Structure 1
Amino acid sequence: MMKIRNTNIDQAVVEQLVSKWRKEYPNNDFFLRTKKRNDATVEVNSDDSDEMGNFIMGDSYNADGEKFHYVHQTALQRRLLELYGSEICLMDVTYRTTRYALPLYFICVPSNVNYITVDSFIPETKSTSSLVEVLTILKSWNPKWKPVFFMCDYADEEEINAL
């Protein structure tokens, strides 16, 4: 029960942050779907954090089967994807860079100087269906985006199938 409660608290914090960012950066695109909560309200207080002040996250739980998704693209990233994303794009993932066991993905394109990140997203799981959903969201934000080539990890069937 404590793990479920902590997960709900973390999601409440993320919802508050995304709400704040939407107001501060109206030209940026945000998509956030949290898991269904077991309780009606979640209050965040200092007792729910560790000694460093970080909120504690427990294991995932969802009765409905909907998965957590967070997708973000800035106005500059959208512009750079339009400029440089028609030839080739790269999708890369990193794991366990924080205490949360969630994959963090990046979509990158080669610019006139170097490779640059044009989107970042965090799905709850690394599955083909989650990646398809996120790529569909990204495509809806960038309707002209039609890369000729896409690079991903060699033996990553979920990424290959999603692309």
Structure 2
Amino acid sequence: MAEDETVLFGSLEECIKSLRDHEIQTNTRYTVGYSSKGFGKRSTGSNIVNNKRVQWLNGKPFISLGLKVYFCHHGKNYRPNNNARTPKEHGYSKGGRVRAQQTKKLGCPAKVLIKEGVMLPASHPIQDNTKAELAASLIDLAATGEYTCCYYMCLPDLEKHKFHETGISSGLSQNIDRGLVHKINELVDEGVSDTDEMERRLRSHVLETENVTPAPTSKRFFPNRNTIRNHMRNAEKTKQTSIDDETNLEGFLNRWKQDNTRDIVFLRKKGETEKFLFVYQSFGMKTLLERYGNTMTLLDATYRTTKYHLPLFFLVVKTNVDYQVVACFIPEEENSVSEQEALQIIKDHNPNWSPKHFMTDMDEREMHAMRSLFPGGLLVLLVM
């Protein structure tokens, strides 16, 4: 069996960067399993090595100040209750991700050790000195506080990985890299909303920034479209000012009114005695309604198009080209009172709107709302 590789670094940043390159080269991934208190944050110039035992690494004295251990992400499951996937309440429940196994922890023994400590400078003579003399010299140097921390990293051989795939296929089980998640957030802030464009930019970013080219099967650096889309959605959610969608909608509509002063935007939030109601008509919609809405107007409702059980109504007219939406509204309840109120708001902002015919489906509530609003109009029923 091949021996583990031990490397010395002058800073923690160099050490972590080397570990990342090792992960890309071997198509492996490690997670932090243990870190001693204050690791990587030791201040130089102070005596912090009192009562520390001198160790020997590669024939040189070394005083250890801290330890950090990285386990293979397929290692032992130290938190079985947190990592286990809870089954659904009903076997016939739909939705959610299908998981072939409860956890990806398989008990792999491979781990990376990083030791933080103090060593003699390279200029100090090593030969012709006994171990006791070298240890005494290191203790004297540490007592002065004039030292710099160094880091020893022990990388496991690939043969140490057990119970899971290694090589080019092992990247299929890796989660997306945190750096890519931050890059997705930046690109979403810049206005990138297309998944194909996001995937192209992420690929270019990986090839430009990584010292080692990752394997094409690595989901850590080349995630699939579903993963990219989910993180884009999460990035959009972080820009919201509240977890309450109604509050976010109110803030969005206030900005919308400032940017589009000629649009009709009406929002009434749900209260103790008031019902929720949202009405919208852009200036372009208003122009089409005035031009084509006096002959025939169509009213249609859609269902199950949003995550809320709220009906979405569209006012539609036939133009010289096709059918166009000229207004929309969302009431809290689907009844004639709510529909009539929404149509009245649209009519108040369109005083010249007086259709000769109205088309709707076989719904008594919609028929009653339009008869009350346009008593002289001819109602045409569309049987669905």
1:96 to partner: Cα distance: 1.1
Does 1:161 pair with 2:368? Answer: yes
1:93 to partner: Cα distance: 0.3
1:108 match: 316
CA distance in 1 between counterparts of 2:369 and 2:296 reads 16
Give the partner amino acid of 1:131: E
1:14 to partner: Cα distance: 1.0
Give the partner amino acid of 1:102: L
What does 1:1-150 align with in structure 2 at a 5 Å threshold?
A: 9-36=244-271, 63-64=272-273, 66-150=274-358
1:132 to partner: Cα distance: 0.6
**Matched residue of 2:333: which SS?**
coil
**Matched residue of 1:109: which SS?**
strand
Question: What TM-score do you get using the length of structure 2 for normalisation?
Answer: 0.33
1:9 to partner: Cα distance: 1.6
1:26 to partner: Cα distance: 0.8
**Matched residue of 1:152: which SS?**
strand
Unaligned runs of 5+ in 1: 1-7, 37-62
1:159 to partner: Cα distance: 0.3
1:25 to partner: Cα distance: 0.8
Write out the 4+ residue segments of structure 1 that deviate beyond 3 Å after TM superposition. Answer: none
Unaligned runs of 5+ in 2: 1-242, 371-384
**Matched residue of 1:67: which SS?**
coil
CA distance in 1 between counterparts of 2:306 and 2:353 reads 31
Give the partner amino acid of 2:252: L
User: Number of residues paired by the alignment?
Assistant: 128
CA distance in 2 between counterparts of 1:101 and 1:17 reads 21
1:24 to partner: Cα distance: 1.0
Give the partner amino acid of 1:79: T
- Percent identical pairs in the alignment equals 42
1:72 to partner: Cα distance: 0.4
1:98 to partner: Cα distance: 1.5
